[in-house]
Amino acid sequence: MSNVFEFLGLPADHRTGNKITQHVKNIDEVPESKKGFPVWAQIKKDGVYALVIKTDSKVRIFSRTGKAYTNIGKLAESFRKSNAIDGVYIAELCCDMCSLEALSGIVNPNRNKKLSHEQQTCKEVMYLAFHDYLTLDEFIIGESSRTYKSRFNYMYTILPFIFNTIQSYTIYNQVDEDNLFNEVARIGEEGLVFKNPDEGWVGGHKGYRQYKRVRGVSYDLKCIGVEEGEGKMKGKVGNLIFKWKGDKEIKCPLGKGWTHEDARGVFQTYKHIKAGLHDTSINGSPVGQIFEVYALQESSKGKLRLPKVGELRHDKVRADVGE
């Protein structure tokens, strides 16, 4: 019984894919018309999404995709023995002794390999930081009409004191937001998650109900290839391919500021030049040129998290990395 809905006595495909939980969107991808003040802000913990479900004196902890985590029995048992009422508690699973990649590996639903001594040590100090609550019926239906403010405040009153909640700050203007973001970045946190206090919860929604602003990284990299998109991106740039550290490559979609017409134009120019046709474009082929590549963060293994292509760097002749 490794699926969240099977645990609740429902078919495993009751809701599938990205419809199981509500998602967080990056702040740059949320329309300005959907953002506003006042808004609640919470420190974005560098952890793993966790659905902690208690029903009929049983507790299981599941991933965003509805799969049961492994090596999580101690936390689940602690929650079962507490006085927490039945429901769906939404939290970040954290560990201050290891990286996010290492933590994900420890609790990976597909893991069957025995933990190393170091992993076992990390497992013993994992903890949950709670930030939302749904009734079992709300989660099963996939929607709650209760506002986030009411859900959070209710969770705060029912959650046993031995468990942590993520503190919420009310932000009234852009200056407040910038000041808080700079402060959490200064102390080493990943960033902020913004919650509209007057919005309900909808499984599968990704947008204005909750969005994030995180510390980012940016590199100027040399383009070494172009990949055509699929579906609605057919005939347009799907990814530009960049030279990365050592002999590695990174595939990145076009980011903010690039239009579908830009994606079509760049791809057509690339095809024409590759075919030996006369180039009439302004910038020529992207291959060999340097672009800004920005991402949410660089992992401990040197991978960029959610990289996007920024501006063409006319002012640079050498990449920051890979040369």
Q: DSSP letter for 99, please.
A: -
- Give per-residue pLDDT as tens, 268-284: 999 999 988 888 787 88
Q: CA 107 to CA 56: how far, in whole Å? A: 24
Q: Has this prediction a pTM greater than 0.85? A: no
CB within 8 A of 49, min separation 6: which ones? Answer: 21, 63, 64, 90, 92, 93
Say whether the peptide bond before residue 38 is cis (omega within 30 degrees of 0).
Answer: yes
Q: Does domain 217-312 have CATH number 3.90.1150.10?
A: no
1 pLDDT higher than 60: no
Could you give the percent of the chain with pLDDT greater than 70?
99
Q: 194, 205 in Cβ contact below 8 A?
A: no
Q: 184, 162 in Cβ contact below 8 A?
A: no
Q: 250, 293 in Cβ contact below 8 A?
A: yes
CATH 3.30.470.30 positions along the chain are 4-214
Q: CA 35 to CA 308: how far, in whole Å? A: 22
CATH 2.40.50.140 positions along the chain are 217-312
- Give per-residue pLDDT as tens, 162-175: 899 999 999 999 99
The CATH superfamily assigned to 4-214 is DNA ligase/mRNA capping enzyme (3.30.470.30)
- Angle at which helices 117-124 and 100-107 cross, to 10°: 90
Q: CA 39 to CA 148: how far, in whole Å? A: 11
Which single residue is written with the structure tokens 């055509």? 228
Residue 315's pLDDT is: 67
**Residues 23-41: what's their mean pLDDT?**
91
What confidence tier does 320 reach under pLDDT thresholds 50, 70, 90?
confident
241 pLDDT higher than 80: yes
Q: DSSP letter for 85, please.
A: P
Q: DSSP letter for 71, please.
A: S
What confidence tier does 111 reach under pLDDT thresholds 50, 70, 90?
confident
**Residues 102-130: what's their mean pLDDT?**
92
The more confidently predicted of residues 250 and 315 is 250
- Mean pLDDT lowest for which of 197-201, 203-207, 317-321? 317-321
